[in-house]
Amino acid sequence: MMNLLRFGQLPVHQLLMAIIGSMSSICALSGLSYWLVSGNSESRLYMMTSFTVTLFAWGMYAIQKSMSKNSPYTNLITPSLLFLVIVVITLYNPVALQQMWVALIFFPVMLSLLVEFRVYVVGSIIFSLYFLLFQIFGPTYGNNDGFSPIIMATTKGVYALGCVILGGIIITAFNQHKLRVEAAAFQQQKQQVINILQCFIPVGERKTQTSRKEIGEMSVLLKALVKEYESLRVQDWEIDLLSLLHFVSRVKLPDYMFEKEGKLTEFEFEVVQEHCFMAKELCEGIPDFQEVEKAFLYHHEKVDGTGYPYRLAGDQIPLLSQMLGLVEVFLAMTTPRSYRQATSPREAYAEIQKLVGHAFRADIVDAFGKVID
C-alpha cells in the first residue's frame, strides 16, 4: 500500500513514463507467451517491438529519476519519447489500421499535462507540421467508405486542431488553478504574519507609551507619499504591513531607551540596529514579501552613506525605504514624548528639509511637502 502511495506521488512526467513502461512490459510478456506457443514471425516481431519499447521506457524513467529536479531537460524527456513513439507507430502501423492518424491527435492533450505553456506552443507547432506531412507523405490504405478525400482531409485537420485547442485549454486551466492555489497560500502566509505582529501591538504601546493610532497615521502618510511620487508602484497591503512592522519592531528595544535623551552607547546603537532585521526574520523566503523585507531593512540608510545597518548611499537605497524613513522622522517629531513636546507639522517639515542630501533625497522631500500641504 505504501509503495502505491509513493508511486502516486511521483511527478507527472515520471508517472507517465512508469505507466508506459508498465504497459509495454505487459505487452512484452504477452508477446513472449504468444511467440513460445506459435513460433511464427508475426509473434516474434510483436515480442521484440514490445521489449524494445519496455527497455526504452524504463531506461528513460531511470534517467528522469537520476536527473536533478532543477534541470531544464527533466520535463522534456517524456514528451520527446511520446512524440517519438507516436511517430514510429504511425509510420510503421504494426496492425495496418486505416485510421492510425487518430493516434497522432492525442499527443497535444498528453503534452499539455507535462510541460509549461511556452513549451506547449512549440510542441504544438512541431506536432502540426508532422501531422500535415504525415497526411501528405505518410502511408496510405484503401478507403472503402466512399468519402471524398477533401472531406477526409478537412475532418482530420479539424480533429487535430481541436486537440491542440483542447490541450491549450487544459494547460490554461492548470495554470489558473495553480495561480489560485498560490494566491490562497500567499493570503494565508500574509495573515499569519499580520496575526503575529498584532499580538505585539499592546507590548509596543506599553514600551513606547504611544498609541497604535500611529500605525494608521504612518500608513496614510506613506500611501499619500507613494501616490504623490507617482513613479513608484507599491500595493496598499505592503504599506499597511510596513507600518505595522515599524510599530511592533520597537519591542526589540529595552524600555529605558525610549526615554533616554543623551547619546547612545556603542552597544545601545547596535541594539537599535537590530529592529531593522525584524521583517527579514519574519518574511525571509516568501517571494511576495521581498519588497516589504527590503524596504524595512534599509529604512535607516542615508543618502550620504552614514546610515545603518549597511551604510548604503544614494540610489543603492530603495525609494520605499527612503519614504518609510522620512515618515518615521516626521511622526517622531510630531508625536509628543514624555521628555518633550510635539513639533508642529510645518516645523517638522522644515527640519526634514535640512536633511536633504544627508539623510533623504530632495525629490522625495519635495513630494512629502506636497502631501502635508
Higher pLDDT among residues 304 and 37, named by residue: 304
**From CA 105, how far away is CA 160, in angstroms rounded?**
5
Amino acid 361 reads R
pLDDT tens digits, one per residue of 90-112: 777 655 556 666 777 788 888 88
pLDDT tens digits, one per residue of 316-342: 999 999 999 999 999 988 887 665 677
Higher pLDDT among residues 293 and 106, named by residue: 293
Look at residue 3 and tell me whether its pLDDT is greater than 60: no
Look at residue 255 and tell me whether its pLDDT is greater than 70: no
Look at residue 1 and tell me whether its pLDDT is greater than 60: no
Mean pLDDT along residues 30-39: 85
Look at residue 242 and tell me whether its pLDDT is greater than 70: yes
List phi, psi (to 5°) of 360: -130, 155
String of DSSP letters for 202-214? HHHHHHHT--THH
Handedness of CA 65, 67, 70, 76 (dihedral sign): negative
- Terminal-to-terminal C-alpha distance of the chain: 71
Closest CA to 209 of 275, 272, 258, 274: 258
Give this prediction's pTM. 0.66
Higher pLDDT among residues 76 and 26, named by residue: 26
Look at residue 53 and tell me whether its pLDDT is greater than 60: yes
CA 111 to chain centroid, in Å, comes to 22
CB 108 within 8 A of CB 164: yes
Name residue 356's beta-bridge partners: 360
**96 to each of 38, 93, 303, how far by Cα in Å?**
21, 5, 78
Look at residue 152 and tell me whether its pLDDT is greater than 80: no
320: number of Cβ within 10 Å: 24
Mean pLDDT score of the chain, rounded to an integer? 81
List phi, psi (to 5°) of 205: -65, -45
pLDDT at 147: 57
**From CA 141, how far away is CA 50, in angstroms rounded?**
24
